[in-house]
Chains A and B, each alone.
Chain A
Amino acid sequence: MNIFLYDASFEGFLTVVFESYRLKIVPDTIVEEAEVLPLFSDNVLHISADEQKAQRVWKGLKKKLSPAACSMISVVFLADDPSIPMLLFRYIRKAIDAPKSIETNFGDSDVLEAAKWYKKVGREAERVRQFVRFQKTEDDIFFAPVAPLHNVLPLAVEHFADRFSDQKWLVYDTRRKYGFFYDLQTTVEVTFDHLQINPRIGKINPDMMAEDESLFQQMWKAYFKSMTIKERINPKLHRQNMPRRFWRYLTEKH
């Protein structure tokens, strides 16, 4: 069994593709370095991400595939599921080997599966755009914790940069422990060792809040509560539209 270990980055994944072609070894599975390996791991290959190799694979793909399919690959890669690297590996292999484009061949299970993940990831990114709640800190930074199912922050930040271009903001993925900070000029990736928030509901410590922050939170909560029409209560529809996993950080839900 050929096991490729990589660092879980996109660059790392493309390097896996590169090495697999170079060594002529087809992986049986591609896993993150940190994972516990199965007992019978006979052929384990450690692949370290290499920018140049990754670039060569990406350029090759761009020649062979449409821009839509390339962006599909980079989006699906953000899905949080152990099956993803192998799925994309098979997809890429088929795309490279096939004489004709495979992109719309939904009779192929990998093509269909990739399309499904593409949709799922896109939907999760949309939910982040919907349900992020910023809290204003005393130094005028609008901070929002999120914990999406997939690693979709990279897909959502452009929207925030456009919409909130005149305020500093920080969106932080507490599950993957990294975020994006916008300083009125550019958006940069950041990580913190220790985040000063209430881990259960994501509230920043009261002494770090802007003076009027707690008032606006109260206002929003009150508004949310008043908007419900009791005659029409429908908890199922409520949960369907606003999945429970997002409630944790929603101001109006606490």
Chain B
Amino acid sequence: MAVSTGTKYDVIVIGGGHNGLVNAAYLARAGKKVLVLERRYVLGGAAVTEEVFPGFKFSVCSYVVSLLRPEIIRDLNLPRHGLEILPLDGTFTPMPSGDYLWRVNDHGKTHREIARHSKLDAEAYDEFGKAMQAMCRFVKPILSMVPPDPATLNPKELMKLLFIGRRFQGMTSEDKYNQVQLMTMSAIDFLDQWFETDVLKATMSASGIIGTLLGVRSPGTAYVLLHHYMGEIDGAFRSWGFARGGTGAISNAIADAAREAGAEIRTEAGIAKIIVKNGKAKGVVLANGDEIYADIISSSVDPRLTFTKFIEDGTLPAEFLEEVRRYKFRGSSGKVNLALDALPNFKCMPGPGAHLRGAISISPSVEYMEKAYDDAKYGNFSRRPYIDMVIPTLTDPSVAPPGKHIMSCFVQYAPYKLRPGLNWDDQKEAFGDNVINTIAEYAPNIKDIILHRQVVTPLDLERDFGLSEGNIFQGELSLEQLFFLRPVPGWAQFRTPIKNLYMCGSATHPGGGIMGGPGRLAALEILKDFKGAA
């Protein structure tokens, strides 16, 4: 017999990931009685810090921050709630030849370094930066707008389209040309137009494929490249950083802001069902059978879980469910988190140094990147993967015991669907070994300094973090799944076919990354509807 716990809420937010928390914070600040339900013992979803091994606090999944919308940092006053972003300086790409490419935030240094590979590219690099900023200026307002519905004749919607049209008109024809290409081309086709240095193109193209099952030569990846260029901290474009105390600190700061505004947050409170009565969401049933009621349910988990797991069959229109089934996840990446006794020693730049303080990218050539993708297409993890490594302990020693280090390795490709006969639980350690062997080709001492190793496969991301098919963005960032097509054509405005049920996770516009955009935009839409109802 299910017990109904007395209090009734205005809004129940399903999932205590960063978007769920942002959503709750905005709703609570507007005076709503909000309850956040998180399945795990810890908040943050994929933006989480966990002490996996004694003394070592890993940012288990997401490990750098860049896209977090500045208006959210401002509105929620996150610094006061303990958010501190430490800059991550530069990208270091070791090469098998013994050479390397090392870009840093210092413009002069980077210019000289690139010139060492190609004078032309050094010049083009500055131009490229300017062009990308122009693109970002066009795309940013779109990131903070509710997608229009092009299929209606509702003037309000058409105005939104017009707004975008006008902004496009406003650009110089040079910028238009770039914008169109960016929206449609492959990262490499796009970069080929600017640069000749292979290792530079390879490393830059990497941000175009992160979290997608696409290759650097796949059309549409140029856009994702921009998506990652949009990084903005304290108004400075393209700056990436760590949160002191690990990525989880971001979630904790947001949670703190939400609580201060009056939101109630429960962990280890996974839900089993969303209660729907004659087309209206009424509340949720917890895994333990408790029922909690609210006027509005806001789900930050992905559409597959929300609509096919938490909603009774037969409640939703078949056509809508068909579209949900079509929504593409296909996770393509994994993580290997290492607890180290000392620092890795790179052949091409021995000893410690500033090159270890930024991102270290294993992306030596375009062909290397594309071949890594080819393996994944046929259901294998890349024999030689793209790896993005950071050593947060050099910037924030607090996350490891004195003198020890943490190295976080983002690995692509690790396709969720392995070829028939293979499964991730069997492949897990082989996958981890393969990553270590790859790193060892550049930093041979790596094998001797590993104290502990945590391997996170796409299957782990699905099971432990509730990311369907292990997609870190809650669904691929491919053109046909963006803006007014995300997550489902006709349902990009955070509402769902079920009245009072909303979506507020990365599966909605503007999508994945620690951005908070979906949580905020969804909150604003929900508040609109409250007003409408009142």
User: Is this pair of chains taken from one and the same complex?
Assistant: no
Binding site for B on A (CB under 8 A): none
Binding site for A on B (CB under 8 A): none
